[in-house]
Amino acid sequence: MKIGLSLGSGAARGLSHIGLLKAFEEEEIVPYAISGSSMGALIGGAYAAGYDMSTLDKKIRNLDWKIFTEFFDIKISKNGIVDGKKIEKFIYEFTGDIDISMLEVKFSCVATDVLTGREVVFNSGSLIKAIRASISFPGIFVPQYYEDQFLIDGGIRNPVPVDLLPDECDIKFAVDVGPFVEKEKFVTKIKNGTKKGDEKKKEKFSFSLNNIIKDILSRNGDDEEVVYPNIFETLIQTVAIMQNSVFESKLKANSHCQIIRPQLNKFKLTDFTSAAEIIDIGYEEGKKMIKEYIYEN
């Protein structure tokens, strides 16, 4: 059976792809093709390049997320906050320097041309450059300049690129790990008089891009009774709204695929410190997929 997996964008929630692919590895089931967007491109690309998911699982679980921030070369400029050169070195650790066309598993990922709004598909060329483009969250990462294009996060145009999977796949899975757009409590009334210097905030380090750039994207507003969303929170919610709309539209054109939605509702896109739990959820979802859709056929 030729299995196609489309791994969606979702930042920290996308770490569930590690667990899902680990379940496939344990059953010695090798997908025929993988497509990915943003975090899905990173995890899917690493798998396609031969990186063992059990090894990646252990590495992510034991990763000191404070050290991880060293890969974010913060460089305030009109182009973005994170320059991205160190990120390419980080990607290299998982993929090596390889051409997509040389991968044993058919792989493709997607990015967005910020100048034209056009979807840009990578199915050949540098795997590192392709992933770097696909994960470039707008406004945070400096766009990836590639072949006269300025490329940003693939999730903007195609959050779960199931349409990139080849027609010869016998079964296609669209793994959606993006957040559902709900009424978020962005504007919160402060009832307990907590101030910025509250010691409770110092009790536990919680990694997120908010922490990395907190001195830059601090909350604004002079109204002492209202806490406004910072720039990054607003960007996250805006992208989530767009991705939900795009994905629903894509599904109508790919109604034959199986939609997989791991139970990740309680996790934010920035909850990297919950990596172990997120990976475990992906693993259980992978086992369920194999039992229901693969072994039953």
Give the active site residue among 9, 16, 38, 108.
38
Closest among 32, 38, 30 to 14, alpha carbons compared? 38
3-state secondary structure of 229: coil
Phi first, then psi: give them for residue 33, nearest 5 degrees.
Answer: -150, 150
CB contact set of 37 (below 8 Å; sequence gap of 6+): 7, 8, 9, 109, 110, 134, 153, 154, 155, 158, 159, 160, 161
Active site residue 101: no
Closest among 85, 161, 78 to 122, alpha carbons compared? 161
d(CA 96, CA 35): 18
Active site residue 153: yes
Give the active site residue among 57, 153, 163, 271.
153
8 Å CB contact between 12 and 272: yes
d(CA 16, CA 145): 29
Report, as residue numbers or ranges, the catalytic residues: 38, 153
